[in-house]
Structure 1
Amino acid sequence: MPYSHTGLADERLCTPQPAFLTDDSREILRFAVEALMSGKDAALVTLVAIRGGAARSLGAQMVVRDDGQYCGFVSGGCVEAAAAFEALEAIASGRDREVRYGQGSPWFDIVLPCGGGITLAIHKLRSAQPLLAVLNRLEQRQPAGLRYVPRTQRLSCLPALTRTGWHHGGIEIGYYPGVQLMIHGRSLEAQATAELAAAAGYDIVAPDPFSAHSAVAIDMDTAVILLWHDLDRELPVLQAARDAHPFYIGALGSQRTHGLRRQKLRDLGWHEEEIDRIRAPIGIFPKARDARSLALSILADVAAVRLNQGEG
């Protein structure tokens, strides 16, 4: 008989099983929308408090369907099944709930490896509309947020840039468009970088040659990666990136090559702080001589910049 740490046992409850493994917010919200649109009930589980250390950041989420299938993570994998049981009971009862695991929790048999504690808010979804609104904004490469108020058990979309945290009695979770890599260059290095980036789950844009449409595609969630062996071919891309403010601009070449690049940009009227945004030579470790090592170096640099951006 299915058992939950609330002490309730109910033959109607299913045994939770992961539908698939992901921590991508878009995939998690789509899973919830698809469940609701197909007539299934579902609950949204959100990490709303952290005591000490935790494997996931505040705002991490998972979705649980009424058949026990779930996706997403709120820890390193040690509480997801237990949280799914709680979500199934919330669905069955129609009442939202809060549950604690680890430090400060009554469940001594569930210990977080990090030694900390987490609090989860479990909300039975009443409508797909807030989730669809977030997904629509992300599809348009616009930031969005969800606001959940435990007192009213209400979930709503925030159609604006949102910083995850508690505000006026509600938890707000920020969502950002997926990172897209705009890779320029007809080279082995460009091919290796695109292949590795795709395997890592990045959205890939490979405009080659550069076009006006590509300039429109650059936004603040774009990493512009220049892997030409020709400074003149870089210039149209750099000019477009100058005004679009991507979070990352990196360029291939030696220190000497970058010195020539800097001078060309000064001649075009660039300010020093604008030129300083270009990470060159590209990558986190110098003198990567083979394409695969360079690709790994580039993607690690992109990931580090993005992470620092999120923490800023």
Structure 2
Amino acid sequence: MLHDDVADLSHIRPYKVTEARTKPTPVRWSFSDDTEEIFRFAIGELAKGGVALATLTEIRGGAARALGSHVAIAADGRFCGYVSGGCIEAAVASEALDALGEDQDREVRYGQGSPFFDIVLPCGGGITVAIHVLRDAKALSHVLSELGQRRCAGLRYTGSTEQLRMVEPPSKPGFVDGGFETVYRPRTRIVISGQSVEAERVASIADSAGYEVVAYTNREIELPVIDRYTAVVLLHHDLDAEQDVLHAALRSSAFYLGALGSTRTHRNRVDRLDSSGFTKAQTQRIKAPIGVFGPTRDANSLALSILADVAATRLSVYA
């Protein structure tokens, strides 16, 4: 029997010291903001140890990225993508790592209206980011498959149920009945017709910009598919040489059609098209002289002028 002034501690279990989990340091893996690359990264990391997908779901004031922009964050801290100009992605990744550790989605606000007073967006606005712990890759794989076949895809994220699923592509990103829907469109395909230094420079810069470049230089081969996400650029110094591609482009749903040549050359082009049965509405689709600034006197300036026009037109059509 124990002495009266000695407490019986036999019922208390000894404290077991465990090693605390070390949170990885967020590290940017890629500087790309390409959706397909971000999704491929997420799918690959899901099989290795877990991944979270952060989505820009609200903009208050100004913002550097569009609604629906993504960052994918791996369990080891590596991340790729953007939801801002680059100023808060590491903070988003840190929140995503906490979400992965808890296996629970979360929503975070930055900038205007945010509890993080030490994180200020340079634009002065504010954004909300939804962080989803990815459980399977079906939704992302669906998007990649559709884009690979040059079709639009749509995803819907519901925070209350922590679900990400495929839906019919919405007209634009935003909340619908409590869920955030995002639309994904095929990358810009640019068909370049011409055998010149100008054509080479346009192809080179377009490739660097991430466009799908198709150089059509041989009239003996089949003309590439021209869909509504295709820009057609005609860089010939001879109206006869451009005729086949020009006629095909005018009959297509291409979002952009531009042709090299002076104002006088373009009048001759339109006269020829009128005699071939094309309507005024069709010929008015042609941007000629091509580009947003001019006249240019070197191939590099012309290429930049053309591609700036292509990019601006795509944004105006598919904002």
Amino acid at match of 2:192: I
TM-score by length of 1: 0.93
Alpha-carbon deviation of 1:289? Answer: 1.5
Identify which of 125, 133, 137 aligns with 1:128.
137
SS in 2 for 1:244: coil
Alpha-carbon deviation of 1:160? Answer: 3.8
- For the pair shown, the structure with the greater C-alpha radius of gyration is 2
Identify which of 257, 265, 273 aligns with 1:265.
273
The equivalences for 1:1-312 within 5 A come to 11-36=21-46, 38-160=47-169, 162-210=171-219, 213-215=222-224, 217-311=225-319
Alpha-carbon deviation of 1:93? Answer: 0.9
Amino acid at match of 1:234: E
Alpha-carbon deviation of 1:214? Answer: 2.3
Alpha-carbon deviation of 1:195? Answer: 1.2
CA–CA separation in structure 1 for the residues paired with 2:92 and 2:103: 16
Alpha-carbon deviation of 1:133? Answer: 0.4
Amino acid at match of 1:225: V
Alpha-carbon deviation of 1:297? Answer: 0.8
Q: Write out per-residue CA displacement over residues 15-63 of structure 1, whole angstroms, 9 at most, x where no aligned residue.
A: 1100111111111111111112x33200000010111111111111100
C-alpha contact (below 8 Å) 1:137/1:159 kept by paired residues:
no
C-alpha contact (below 8 Å) 2:231/2:310 kept by paired residues:
yes
Amino acid at match of 1:111: V
Change (3 A) 1:145 1:210: farther
Q: Write out per-residue CA displacement over residues 101-136 of structure 1, whole angstroms, 9 at most, x where no aligned residue.
A: 111111111011111111000000011010000000
CA–CA separation in structure 1 for the residues paired with 2:314 and 2:106: 34
C-alpha contact (below 8 Å) 1:162/1:172 kept by paired residues:
no
Structure with the higher helix share, 1 or 2: 1
TM-score by length of 2: 0.91
Number of residues paired by the alignment? Answer: 300
CA–CA separation in structure 2 for the residues paired with 1:278 and 1:11: 61
Change (3 A) 1:211 1:119: farther
C-alpha contact (below 8 Å) 2:54/2:129 kept by paired residues:
yes
Which sections of structure 2, spanning at least 5 residues, go unmatched?
1-19
SS in 2 for 1:120: strand
Change (3 A) 1:160 1:213: farther
CA–CA separation in structure 2 for the residues paired with 1:289 and 1:115: 41
C-alpha contact (below 8 Å) 2:151/2:185 kept by paired residues:
yes
Change (3 A) 1:160 1:59: closer
Percent identical: 51
Alpha-carbon deviation of 1:239? Answer: 1.8
C-alpha contact (below 8 Å) 2:170/2:182 kept by paired residues:
no
CA–CA separation in structure 2 for the residues paired with 1:158 and 1:254: 47
Runs of 4+ displaced beyond 4 Å? none
Give the alignment's Cα RMSD to 1 decimal: 1.3
C-alpha contact (below 8 Å) 1:62/1:71 kept by paired residues:
yes
SS in 2 for 1:278: coil
CA–CA separation in structure 2 for the residues paired with 1:56 and 1:161: 19
